[in-house]
Amino acid sequence: MNYFILFLLLCLIIFTSTIKLDKPKKTDVISKEVIKQKNVQPKVEKKVKVSAKKKEFYSLLVPAIQKTHTKLMSEYISVLDDINSSKNLQRVEKLKKEYKVNNNKELLAALKPHPQSIVLAQAAIESAWGTSRFFNEANNVFGMWSANENELRIPAGEKRNGTKTIWLRKFNSVEDSIKAYYKLMATAQAYKEFRKVRFQTDDPFTIVKELNNYSELGSEYTQSISSVIKYNKLTQYDQ
């Protein structure tokens, strides 16, 4: 009988010891939770901040871009109608001089605005989603340089070749910056091929390939624009 009691006691001790070893410590549970929070929380906060930044960017840029695009498209259609019907020819000739073109086709290519998705993507890249100093201090959405000392402008934070000051244009409003950008794309010699392509198609991913002259990054820059358009579904603004 004594042996049987001793056997039962021994089994009880072993069973109790096993439970203590398997049971997680309170400190271990807390540590795992802390690790979980460290791994997840910053990502969540960062995602929220980026989302808020983009939302603010869209609320400011989309209406201004749509307004400018609508006005330019209306003018393009009006001039196209004048050319097809041989009306208001003096107006047509005046616009040719303003846009420095030689014929009607070149004029129409200059006047036709490109898709808003491209404009938004460039604005996002050039202004870092509306957070750049040029954007906040000068309403300069597209990082447009200035070579005219008589116009409003601000100095860049760095100098070319370490000695020459780089100046950027300063605008009274975001809308003025967008208008100047469209005018630049319509008149600058560097974007002649760009104008030809946008006159032939409305596909943003085809047109954007001709923007390699806008940045020193070349084709890498055009790929970035396409990526921004796709990732953020910006073609919805082209409807």
Structural domain contains residue 188: yes
Domain count, the chain: 1
Task: Please report, for residues 26, 60, 179, 194, the alpha-carbon distance to residue 190 in angstroms, rounded to integers and kept in the order given.
Answer: 68, 29, 18, 8
- How high is the pLDDT of residue 157? 74
Cα gap 61→174, rounded to integer Å: 8
Low-confidence ranges of the chain (pLDDT < 50): 15, 18-38, 40-41
Which residues form the domain of 71?
45-136+174-238
Structural domain contains residue 227: yes
- How high is the pLDDT of residue 209? 96
Instruction: For residue 165, give the DSSP letter.
Output: E
- How high is the pLDDT of residue 29? 38
Ramachandran angles phi, psi of 113, nearest 5°: -80, 145
- The set of residues, in sequence order, having a beta carbon less than 8 Å from that of 176 and lying 6+ positions away, is 139
- How high is the pLDDT of residue 47? 57
- How high is the pLDDT of residue 7? 54
Structural domain contains residue 126: yes
- How high is the pLDDT of residue 2? 53
Diameter of the chain by CA atoms?
124
Segment 190-225, tens digit of pLDDT: 999 999 999 999 999 999 999 999 998 999 999 999
